[in-house]
A and B are shown apart, each in its own frame.
Chain A
Amino acid sequence: MAGADPTAAEPAEEAAPAGTPLAPMQAAGEAQVAIHTRGLTKRYGDFTAVDSLDLTVRQGEVFGLLGPNGAGKTTTILMLLGLSEPSAGTARVLGLDPARSPLEIKRRVGYLPDAVGFYAGMTGRENLRYTARLNGIPRVAAEERISALLDRVGLTDAADGRVETYSRGMKQRLGLADTLVKDPLIVVLDEPTTAIDPTGVAEVLELVRELANGGVAVLLSSHLLHQVQQVCDRVGIFVQGRLVAVGPMGELAEQLGGGPLVVEIMPAGAPTTAAETLRAVGGVTAVEPDERDPRLLLVTATRDVRADAARALAASGQPPLHLRRRGDELDEIYRRYFAAGEERAA
């Protein structure tokens, strides 16, 4: 089914595992879709690297594909670029099937591989020139674009030095310039912040944001959550080949479901009296003092009780000084998803 024609998929709805029409259709108010996959699967023998992945990335959006190493992120990317055949499911990049029109896709998708490398004996500029030639960009236009890009990533001074003299961070920046040489509609960055210093990370992320603001769709794969959370419009948590949750950062916790909701509260008065008040709030199942900080109370509830808890505390004359829902932070979400993912796999 991997090679199914988008137009042919419609009448075959009965049989196709991905019954949704993939053909371009008019939709009012919907952002244009850059990447769309349905049940995308890659198996190596008995091992399933990517397990029926459903993914949608729109133009102008930064989508973070987050997961531990070996989760299948790079495999997914390779399938999107037509560099690896899917075992099942469909993928559409810019409406094209990667298995059928890889060149059209690769002409418009900039890909920064994990641990990107350059020809060490050539200069940075020569490396970019080669990429421009491979993309069929006319010489004069390419020269201008390369100079502009080198300037943008701050490599103008080093541009005519051999790449073997570059630092890791410089190579990473050259890699970013390299993905942009073809003026892509989609940029796929595989672990772009690994092995570079914090300043470099900030620069890379700033560039990513700029790209998205310019209408480019960015698919960013990373295992370093803290670094990328700030630029991602939406993230997908990818564990052992499965996308366990997708959505904007704030919504991920709700998607997790199942797990209890924990709110930490620092009341103005004595924690014990505040605890009594909080237990009376509907939906609260337990109130425990925090082990590390005795001033904090951890309220476990079946629903979001923040507003009610604050009201109740204020009414009883112990207004909360601090109130925060635990699990809002990416790291905690991530840890929970990882646990969930591993349980499912077990």
Chain B
Amino acid sequence: MSAESTGLAVRRPVKKSRDRRHRRPPQLVTYTALDPDVRAPRQGWRIVAAKEFADYLSSVRFVVLALILGLAAALAVYTASAEIRDAARQVSGHPSLFLALFTIGAENVPAFAFLISFLGPLLGIAFGFDGINGERTEGTLPRLLSQPIHRDDVINGKFVGALSAIGLLLAAITLVVAALGIVQLGVIPQPDSILRLLMWLVVAVIYVGFWLAFALLCSVVLRRAATSALVAIALWLVLTLFSTLLIGLIAGAFAPLTADPTPAQALANESLQVQLGWLSPSRLFEDATSALLNPSVRTVGLVLPIQADRAITSILGFDQSLLVVWPQIVALVALTVVSFAVAYVAFMRQEVRA
């Protein structure tokens, strides 16, 4: 230490290091030369998505879901076409007989659009509930993450892959239904009807995407696939079956109705119910469906008698119908994005090991 106090000795700058154990004599390090041609793929998520998509198409769950949905859809459209024939005799000049195929139900047999609104979540849950925790239990996640892809490539790829499989399934079933209907009714769809149907398909995929993202979130947070499936299904039941009930209860608590409600009370209560409905994906999807698949629907939600008074019933074009439910579609996209964002963040923050 004496040499140090003179300050004369030629020495490396010795710092008054608090943690002396880190001070080491300089060590010469030559790192391995790297081949610049060895590069990671640019879009890792595409590779993950392609693999997931191929996996789903050959999976048992895809076949089972396709069969169930296909059968239900065939039944729905068969009944609908019978109904339409009866109806068409009375009401000639229905805006679009072709689209009525998808929206008209019968006793005990729901319409195709309702079927999708009811079973769509199940589709999303079935494709997402074991997305991440399945990789964990199989022990493939550390191996996957040690490949030269970003961590978010895994969850992005899973989402895109599953949503593509869902889109394919929905499109195939819708096409089969349309074909059956054409055969049954002999109605050739107009371009307007085809546009409406395509748009409805896009909205349906977004709707299922919400549930897919939610199921993925469950699969990130919950370690066991069974738990994750149960939680996702529980929320689906609550939101789908009891949403009307829940909304009614909440609206009743914040905007109570008396035994003989004044118009103001009734309006407040109704408005609150409508607003709460914005949080329910199935409500949003049903609203969007009603306007997209029925050209004569001019508004969704609350309509006061004064507003409907002397309204001229007329048929809207595709663009006008789209405008009617644009807010609903945007809200649905927003819900899906939020749901996926939560799953994304949860996944990114998670440690690789349990």
Contacts and interface: CB of A to CB of B under 8 A. Distances in A.
Contacts of A175: 143
A59 B34 CA distance: 13
Interface string A103-122: 11011110101111111111
A17 B22 contact: yes
A160 B38 CA distance: 28
B40 A103 contact: yes
B327 interface: no
B256 interface: no
A299 B228 CA distance: 63
Contact of A27 (B30, B41, B149): B30
Give the most central of A33, A120, A136: most B CB within 10 Å.
A136
B17 to A, nearest CB: 8
B149 A59 contact: no
Interface in A74-123: 74-75, 78, 81, 83-84, 92, 94-95, 102-104, 106-109, 111, 113-122
Nearest to A38: B22
A324 interface: no
Contacts of B38: 107-108
Nearest to B27: A20
Contacts of A217: 32
A34 interface: yes
B261 interface: no
Interface string B130-164: 00000000111011111111110000000000000
A136 B27 CA distance: 35
A135 B148 contact: yes
Given A38-B22, A103-B149, A134-B148, A116 B34 contact: no
B11 interface: no
Interface in B109-140: 138-140
A176 to B, nearest CB: 12
A116 B139 CA distance: 6
29 contacts: A17-B22, A21-B26, A27-B28, A32-B32, A34-B31, A38-B22, A52-B21, A52-B22, A81-B146, A83-B142, A95-B32, A95-B34, A103-B150, A106-B40, A106-B149, A107-B39, A107-B148, A113-B142, A115-B139, A119-B55, A121-B59, A130-B51, A131-B143, A131-B147, A134-B148, A136-B40, A136-B148, A175-B143, A185-B32
Given A52-B22, A130-B47, 5 more contacts: A27-B29, A32-B30, A36-B29, A107-B40, A135-B148
